[in-house]
Amino acid sequence: MNDERIGPPCWQTLLDSPPMWLGLGLFGLERANELQRQLDQQLHWQRPTLTLYGRQHLIPRRQIWMGDPDAAYRYSGESFTPAPWHPAVEEIKVAVERSLEASGQRVSFNSVLLNRYADGEDRMGWHSDDEAELGEDPLIAAVSLGAERPLRFRWQDRRGAAFNVWLPHDSLLVMGPGTQRQLQHALLPRKLPGMRISLTFRRVYPR
C-alpha cells in the first residue's frame, strides 16, 4: 500500500466542452473502504424535508452540508449553515485539491454536500448546481465511495442525447466550468444494491 500517493493514477476525459473528466483510484481500495466506513458511522446524517408545490417531502437520501462557517448555502429555498469539517472529509478535500493541482487546476473548496444513498432506491432529481453563491461557471468535484451508480446528464438545450457517467468506488468526477450552465444531472433510482456516499466539493462566495 502506498500511502504517499497523491491523486488518481488514471484520468479519463469525458467531455472536452464543457470540460468534464473522471479520475479513478483516488485513495486506493483499502483507504477508500475505510473512509466510506468512517463517514457512514461518524457523521450525523440528516433527512431534511423539501417543500415542493406547497407540500413537505422527506428527501430520498440522507445528506449533510459541511464547510467553513461563513460558507452558508441556499438550497431549494432554504439556507443551511454548514457543519464543521470532519477529519475524514478534510482528508478527502485535501486529496481532491492536490489531484486537481497535479492536473493544472488550482482550486480551494470551502464547502461540500455529502449525500448518502442507502441503496438504488435513494436518489437525487434533475438539477444543476448553479446557485448564485457558487459564482459564474463553478468547478465542482464529486468523490464517490461505495456502490457504483450512473450519474445521468442531459443538455439544457437538448443539443445532444442524454448520457450516463458511471461513478465507481474511489473515483473523482470533475465538472469543469460551463458544466452547470449547459447540462443538468440526476442520480436516478436503479435496481442496484449497496450503499453509496458522494461528496460534491464547491467554493461558495459569501454575500
Ligand X SMILES: O=C(O)CCC(=O)C(=O)O
Residues belonging to the binding site for 2-oxoglutarate are 115, 117, 127, 185, 196, 200, 202
Percent helix, percent strand, percent coil in the chain, to nearest 5? 20, 40, 45
71 is a contact residue toward ligand X (CB under 6 A): no
Residues flagged as binding site: 73-75, 115, 117, 127, 130, 185, 196, 200, 202
Out of Fe ion, ligand X, none, what residue 198 binds, judged by CB under 5 to 8 A for its kind, is: ligand X
Closest distance to ligand X from the beta carbon of 114 (Å): 8
131 is a contact residue toward Fe ion (CB under 5 A): no
Q: Output the nine-digit C-alpha cell for 159.
A: 443539443
Say if residues 24 and 6 touch (Cβ distance below 8 Å). no
Among 68, 91, 119, 129, binds Fe ion (CB under 5 A): 129
Q: Which helix (H) or strand (E) holds 99?
A: helix 87-102
What residues between 99 and 138 interact with ligand X by CB under 6 A?
A: 113, 115, 124, 129
Q: How far is CA 52 from the centre of its chain?
A: 23
Say if residues 136 and 18 touch (Cβ distance below 8 Å). no
Q: How far is CA 94 from the centre of its chain?
A: 15
State the residues that interact with ligand X by CB under 6 A. Answer: 113, 115, 124, 129, 142, 151, 167, 185, 187, 198, 200
